Each structure stands twice: as C-alpha cells, then as structure tokens.
Amino acid sequence: MPKIKMPRSTPALDMTPMVDLAFLLVTFFMLTSSFRAPEPVILDPPSSTTELQIPKQVFLIMIDEEGRTFVDITNNAVKAKVVKQMLNQFKAPGMTEEDMKKFAGVGPVGLSVREFQGFVDMEAGERNGYTQKGVPYDTAASKLKNSELYYWAYFTKIEAHNDYKQREEEAKLRNMEFDKSNYIQVAVKAASNAKYNTVQHVIQVLREARIKEFQMITGLESAPE
C-alpha cells in the first residue's frame, strides 16, 4: 500500500509584533536618554597604569594649561542645591528653581557666580562659543576661604553628605539594599602641561574645605612587561 505523503509547508513567523516592539524600544530610549553636555575645555591628562575606574558620582575639578579651573557635579540634584548655596553666599542675582535645574545639566563650568543667570539664558550654540575664564580663586593662603572655588568644594561636601543620608533613609524605609559605595567623591583632572603651582593651589583649596580624600584622573597606559 503506497505511503501517503503529507504536503510540506514552510513555517512562517509573523514579525509584526517584533517590529512594533523594536519601535517601542527606540522611542523609549529617545525619550529617556539625554545627550552629554559638551565640555568647555578638552584636557589631555598625564597617563598612568592604574585601572581604577572613575567613581559613579563625582565632584570634578578640571585644570587646563592656562590655569583655569572648571567644576562639575555628576549628580544634578546635588549640583542644583550647591548652585543655590553659591548664589546665597555671594549675594548674586537670584535664579528660579527651574533655571537652577537647567544650569545643573549644562556640564562642567568655569564661571563666576554672577555669570550663572546669563549663561543659562543662552542657547546651546551660544554657550559653546562663550569664553569661560575659570572659577575664581585667590592663590593667597589668607584668601582661599573667600574664593568661589572653595565654596564649590565646601557646599558640595555638605550637600553630598545630605544626599547620601537621605538615600540611606529612603532605602531603610523601603526595606531595600543600599549601595554604600555610591556617594559623591572628589576628583581632580589636570592637563599634563598644567603648572604645578596651579595644581598645588587647587589641592590647598580642598584641604581648606576639609576634603581629605580625592582622586587624580589620569589617562591609561600599558603596564610594563
């Protein structure tokens, strides 16, 4: 008796749901992602063989070859609070809460406190072309505590501590695991041809602000064989 041959059919897969999912993912990332703010200065730091990574959250001080200093805080909520403290300390023209949040997202800045409002009012293209003279500080030992760079470090230390404690309390209330390593650390990134005296002055500012630990950011080079 002859065998009955079943008709063969090519399996088909409906890709419509996959395409819909792909577009949903693309839309999600477009709406939730934010572009990295351009840095006002590009530094080429000295190299080292260390493989330590940059901290998750950092208060960064950048020093270029001209001796200008730039600062940034990667935690925008803390940065906005520090900006508010700076405005009060130097009695600069007040900014709205919305402007403070906007300023916190512009990336590293090398501005005087009185330039904050004008800078945040600029369009992105204008900011990129604006010449920043660096965060003011005085090299005289007796005036270090009166400088704007000192108060950037001082207020960041206070607000970083408050932010850490607040997140720790929230984790306890929600019975969640708390990452104790995720706190704002201080880092200095200097150009390889920056003057030694300038770097020394910045480190002295950190000491005056009672910041005992900080990291130096360097480029990575191969370890000797």
d(CA 186, CA 59): 5
Q: What does the DSSP 8-state code read for residue 122?
A: S
Q: Are 107 and 82 in contact (CB under 8 A)?
A: no
**pTM over the 0.85 mark:** no
Is the pLDDT assigned to residue 51 strictly greater than 70? no
**Residue 48 CB neighbour total at 10 angstroms:** 14
Q: Domain ranges in the chain? A: 53-220
What is the distance between the alpha carbons of residues 19 and 16, in angstroms, rounded to a whole number?
5
Q: For residue range 184-204, what is the model confidence (pLDDT) as tens digits?
A: 999 999 998 888 999 999 999
DSSP state of 39: P
pLDDT per residue over 149-195, tens digit each?
A: 999 999 999 999 999 999 999 998 989 888 878 889 999 999 988 88
**CA distance linking residue 194 with residue 65, whole number of Å:** 4
- Structure tokens, 9: 């059919």
DSSP 79-113: HHHHHHHHHHHTTPPP--HHHHHHHHTS--B---G
Neighbours of 193 (CB within 10 A): 11
pLDDT tens by residue, 69-118: 999 999 999 999 999 999 999 998 879 999 999 999 999 999 999 999 99
